[in-house]
Homo-oligomer: A and B are copies of this chain.
Amino acid sequence: MLSEPPKRLTIYDLARLADTSPSTVSAVLNGSWQRRRISQKLADKILSLAKAEGYSANLQARALRRERSGIIGMILPLYDNRYFSSIAQHFEAQARQRGLFATVACTNRNPEQEREAARMMLAYRVECLVSTGATDPDTISEMCDERGATSIHMDLPGYKAPSVISDNREGARRLTDAILDRLAGQDTSENDILFIGGRREDHNTRERIAGFTQARTQRGLATSKADIITCDYAANRTQNALEAYMYQRTRLPSAMFVNSTISLEGVVRWLQLGGYQLDDMVMGCFDWDPLAAAFHPSLLMVRQDVEVMIERVFEIIDAPTVETNRCIEVSPEIIGV
């Protein structure tokens, strides 16, 4: 294992074996041989030799010389929800398609970890760094700029690099509309909806609150501060916040706008503990999870269009432009209507 590194085959070895020069071997193996007028015969010889010996190029050496690593990086808050995990999977798939090597690091919504991961990736000379849901996107853009790497933001926008995000406001508006439609069907007298979860300081939560408020305003409903609880992205905090909220109430709100699956976990736990049924209340969740859908078929959900978002990201990677603070918004889809 690590003890005795069995001397990997290099182009120098192949050159000796093929009785030619390293530069010729290199040209043949990286495809530039036609341009370099290497004869078909010699090329074939080298190619078959390389195959026979199981040669594979040292991409570190190549990267060093070419000053292009072929690596693209992504930082991610976490893996463990459908949204982020699907971002990671699509990112990898697209990278692979382009012959790029994708590397993903998860940074727990922690700005210090984000910077540290960015530092590492830049030290390995990633050509491009996609920061997803970064709490401090602009610093990361600056780091990328210094190192000459393309910076792109996803999920949360930054101001020093292009961003690809969901149209949170529209998604929230449509989710709220769907909730209100359901309530109209139930013909409840007091259509009080609680917005719960997220961080008031983050762009997405703000936009979703705006959409939530807008949809209600359009139906002549006022929205007060008490209707909105931004208790961070955490199940326990959501659960505690609900506990506190209900302390001064006698009945459930008629609906909840739950801002993320992790908050949904808290809401559901709290409902179960209180002996409520899932359908005692209309629920909409800004995020999509098939397991939640299975357990709660009437749950309304917002499914962000990760596939399109990643496509947009790669359009920027493929053709980086100068307009640096563009923000592309992708419409999400409402599930369950």
Q: Is the CB of B290 within 8 A of A6?
A: no
Contact pick for A124, options B78, B92, B101, B123, CB 8 Å: B101
In the complex, the answer to whether A89 meets B85 with C-beta atoms within 8 Å is no
- Write the nearest CB–CB distance from A304 to chain B, whole angstroms: 14
Q: Pick the contact of A272 from B54, B120, B294 — CB < 8 Å?
A: B294
Most B CB atoms within 10 A — which of A61, A85, A96?
A85
- Give the interface centre of A60, A78, A127, A289 by most chain B CB atoms within 10 Å: A60
Residue of B nearest to A270 (CB): B294
Mask, A30-70, CB within 8 Å of B = 1, is 00000000000000000000000010111111011001010
User: In whole Å, how far is A176's beta carbon from the nearest beta carbon of chain B?
Assistant: 23
Interface residues of A (CB under 8 A from B): 1-6, 8, 54, 56-61, 63-64, 67, 69, 71, 78-80, 82, 84-86, 88-89, 92, 96, 101-106, 116, 119-120, 122-125, 127-128, 146-148, 150, 235, 261, 264-266, 268-269, 272, 278, 289-292, 294-297, 320, 322
A320 touches B2 (CB 8 A): yes
Establish whether residues A123 and B56, one from each chain, have CB atoms under 8 Å apart when the complex forms.
yes
| Chain B residues in 8 Å Cβ range of A290 | 235, 265
Q: A6-B148, A265-B294 are in contact. List 11 more A-B contacts (CB 8 A).
A: A1-B320, A1-B322, A2-B128, A2-B148, A79-B80, A79-B84, A79-B86, A101-B103, A104-B104, A264-B294, A268-B295
Contact B295 A58 (CB under 8 A): no
Q: Which residue of B lies closest to A235 (CB)?
A: B290
Question: Which of chain B's residues have a CB closer than 8 A to the CB of A150?
Answer: 1-2
In the complex, the answer to whether A105 meets B92 with C-beta atoms within 8 Å is yes
So how many copies of this chain end up in the complex?
A: 2
**A106 contacts B124, C-beta separation under 8 Å:** no
Q: Do A101 and B79 contact each other (CB < 8 Å), given the known contacts A64-B60, A148-B8, A295-B296?
A: no
Which B residues are in CB contact (< 8 Å) with A265?
Answer: 290-291, 294
Q: Is there an interface contact between A269 and B289, defined as CB atoms closer than 8 Å?
A: no
Which one of A8, A57, A103, A261 has the greatest number of beta carbons of chain B within 10 Å?
A: A103
Tell me whether B82 and A89 are in contact (CB under 8 A).
no
B residues near A64, Cβ cutoff 8 Å: 58, 60-61, 64
6 of the cross-chain contacts (CB-CB < 8 Å) are A2-B320, A58-B123, A80-B89, A89-B106, A235-B290, A292-B295
| Residues on the B chain within 8 Å of A89, using CB | 78-80, 106
Measured in the bound complex, the distance between the Cα atoms of B51 and A321 in whole Å is: 31
- Given the complex, which residues of B lie within 8 Å of A67, measured CB to CB? 5
Decide: A3 near B320, CB < 8 A? Known: A57-B123, A60-B63, A64-B61: yes
